[in-house]
Amino acid sequence: MVQEKKYKIATIGSHSALQILKGAKDEGFETICICLKGRDEPYRNFKVADKIYVIDDYKELFTLQDELIKENAIIVPHASFIAYMGVKKTESIKVAYFGNKKILEWESNRNIERDWLRNAGLKVPKLFDDPKMIDRPVITKFHGAGGGKGYFIAKNYDDWKEKMKAYKGEQDYVIQEYIVGVPCYIHYFYSPLTDEIEVLGFDKRYESNVDSLGRISARDQIALPKIDPSYVIVGNIPLVLRESLLPQVFKMGRAVVEESKKLCPPGLFGPFCLECVITPDTEIVCFEISARIVAGTNPYVNGSPYTWLKYNEPMSTGRRIAREIKLAIQKGELKKVVQ
Ligand code: ATP
């Protein structure tokens, strides 16, 4: 029997589960999808799951644990997984888990995350703890805003104070320098088995309503009832980067991984994403890191131009995860990638 046949790849039905499960099947694993009632249709319809557990509440995942362990399941987390379960609950999961759980704490704490990126030598937007110090355009982000809802841009302190009136009582926010440029989300993979950094692809997000404002002329925007930009994600658009930026992209990925090894061994591994804005001077400014698969990899179920260059076969991020798990099993090093 092929060794990996003993294991099953499991995830929650949302975010990038189609890609994770399809990739796992392509690598020869059986798959399990855990879905909320009413959300199981895509996973049945696209036939990516060998088994589907339908639950009423994500808390039920804990009661399923023993069953999942018996099935030799390996959970692959994604952003919705962490959002639904919460960091503390995810940390306490007993089922085998792909990734370094210690990173969760890091990434969910804005200050630690910022230090991590800065210590890795990345350019990050300036933060304003005191709004009176605002001396350039800023974006105010509310924690747990659910996809950038309510984020607003202000040009100076007076403008900020005026706009904040709509958010009376809100305490949990950051005021960040607004970087004028184009957004670019960089998809990486780091393998602790081969010590290689891979660039799997790029995307930009399609956000409502900010991505439609350019379709309304400034004259009409002024004439219409007040429109506040929001950044609610509705999809992802594939992107290929100017080739001369790639050396910097590889360097940034490596630096973030090396820094993470110092901060919480064995450090960050598997897929991760640097969320950046690229300025007209081609400076890449990173405003956030996601330490796992991002939904921006979903356009590449059949691989991206970069994974095609490297693998010469369809290789999504989901499949790359499954390949890593398979390699680890074959080398007898599963403990290196699963906790
Ligand atoms: P996530 O889902 O990745 O945790 P989010 O959806 O809550 O985050 P962000 O990704 O932080 O929100 O930002 C939402 C939008 O605001 C994106 O379009 C991003 O490009 C833009 N943005 C965020 N920070 C900055 C910044 N400092 N300068 C310019 N644009 C920014």
Checking if the pLDDT of 257 tops 80, the result is yes
Integer Cα distance of 102 and 67 in angstroms: 25
Per-residue confidence (pLDDT) for residue 1, from 0 to 100: 53
State what percent of residues in the chain have pLDDT above 70. Answer: 98
For residue 251, give every residue at least 6 positions away whose Cβ sits within 8 Å of its Cβ, in sequence order, or none: none
Integer Cα distance of 39 and 84 in angstroms: 14
Residues flanking ligand 1, CB < 6 Å: 125, 139, 141, 145, 147-148, 176-179, 183, 205, 207, 231, 233, 275, 277, 287-288
Q: Where on the phi/psi map is residue 144: left (φ > 0), alpha (ψ -120 to 50), or beta?
A: left
| Residues 89, 253 contacting (CB under 8 angstroms) | no
- The SS3 of residue 123 is strand
CA of 149 to the centre of ligand 1 (A): 10
The DSSP 8-state label assigned to residue 190 in this structure reads: E
pLDDT category, 147, cuts 50, 70, 90? low
The helix or strand, by DSSP H or E, that contains position 259, with its residue range, turns out to be helix 246-263
Residue nearest to atom 6 of ligand 1 (CA): 147
Integer Cα distance of 120 and 252 in angstroms: 8
Residue nearest to atom 12 of ligand 1 (CA): 148
pLDDT category, 323, cuts 50, 70, 90? very high
Same fold yes or no, 107-123+180-328 and 131-177: no
pLDDT category, 273, cuts 50, 70, 90? very high
pLDDT category, 27, cuts 50, 70, 90? very high
Integer Cα distance of 41 and 109 in angstroms: 35
pLDDT digits (tens, 9 = 90+) for 173-222: 999 999 999 999 999 999 999 999 999 999 999 999 999 998 999 898 88
Question: What is 3-97's CATH topology?
Answer: Rossmann fold (3.40.50)
Determine how β-strand 138-142 pairs with β-strand 73-75. unpaired
CA of 93 to the centre of ligand 1 (A): 29
The DSSP 8-state label assigned to residue 50 in this structure reads: S
Checking if the pLDDT of 145 tops 70, the result is no
Handedness of CA 74, 146, 291, 59 (dihedral sign): negative
CATH 3.40.605.10 matches 107-123+180-328 = no
CA of 148 to the centre of ligand 1 (A): 7
Per-residue confidence (pLDDT) for residue 144, from 0 to 100: 66
- The SS3 of residue 203 is strand
Integer Cα distance of 122 and 227 in angstroms: 34
Tell me which of 233, 275, 283, 294 to substitute to probe ligand 1's pocket, judged by most ligand atoms within 8 Å of the beta carbon: 275
pLDDT category, 142, cuts 50, 70, 90? confident
Tell me which of 139, 142, 179, 298 to substitute to probe ligand 1's pocket, judged by most ligand atoms within 8 Å of the beta carbon: 139
pLDDT category, 69, cuts 50, 70, 90? very high
Checking if the pLDDT of 227 tops 90, the result is no
First to last CA, the chain: 24
- More confident position, 111 or 180: 180
Residue nearest to atom 4 of ligand 1 (CA): 147
Domain ranges of the chain: 3-97, 107-123+180-328, 131-177
State the average pLDDT over residues 137-148: 79
State what percent of residues in the chain have pLDDT above 90. Answer: 78
C-alpha torsion angle, residues 95, 27, 289, 256 (rounded to 10): 100
Tell me which of 128, 149, 288, 293 to substitute to probe ligand 1's pocket, judged by most ligand atoms within 8 Å of the beta carbon: 288
Checking if the pLDDT of 118 tops 80, the result is yes
Question: What does pLDDT average to over the chain?
Answer: 93
State the average pLDDT over residues 119-147: 90
pLDDT digits (tens, 9 = 90+) for 149-159: 778 899 999 99
Q: What angle do CA 43, 199, 118 make, to 5 degrees?
A: 110
| Residues 274, 256 contacting (CB under 8 angstroms) | yes
Checking if the pLDDT of 296 tops 70, the result is yes
For 131-177, CATH number?
3.30.1490.20
Nearest atom in ligand 1 to 181's CA? 29
Per-residue confidence (pLDDT) for residue 111, from 0 to 100: 83
Per-residue confidence (pLDDT) for residue 243, from 0 to 100: 98
Tell me which of 113, 138, 141 to substitute to probe ligand 1's pocket, judged by most ligand atoms within 8 Å of the beta carbon: 141
Query: How many other C-beta atoms lie within 10 A of the C-beta of residue 223?
Result: 9
